[in-house]
Amino acid sequence: MAMERVPYLVGGGFEHSAEVMRAMLAAATSGAEGIVNAGDMKVQPLNVPGTSVRVAPGNALVRNSYGGGSAQTYAARSSSQTEVPIQSTGSSAARADMIVARIDDPTYDGG
């Protein structure tokens, strides 16, 4: 079994890998993902209807889905409201859209 060189929270000026931090977050949240608190990243329409929606500030957890990154969780944070463009739809068409938080990690192939 390959262990990290220094277990997490050992002092002495040791640096810890991002993988250890993501593993710790996964353990602390039991591998949960999604918004952290009610209202975080809540999606709402614009005050005046248009071709965007408002995404509230907040925090989210995103599980690592890269090969070799199992049992790791990313923390995502938005500090301000963001407008996300969406395609308009005709008055006779019903639809549902999804906004996804995606982490591109250059540490992993394809990131």
Lowest mean pLDDT among 9-13, 15-19, 59-63, 100-104: 9-13
- 61-82 average pLDDT score: 91
Does residue 109 or residue 33 have the better pLDDT? 33
- pLDDT tens for 48-71 read 888 899 999 999 999 998 888 889
Percent of the chain with pLDDT over 90: 48
Q: Which long-range contacts (CB under 8 A, 24 or more apart) does 82-86 make?
A: 82/54, 82/55, 83/46, 83/52, 83/53, 83/54, 83/55, 84/43, 84/52, 84/53, 84/54, 84/55, 85/51, 85/52, 86/51, 86/52, 86/53
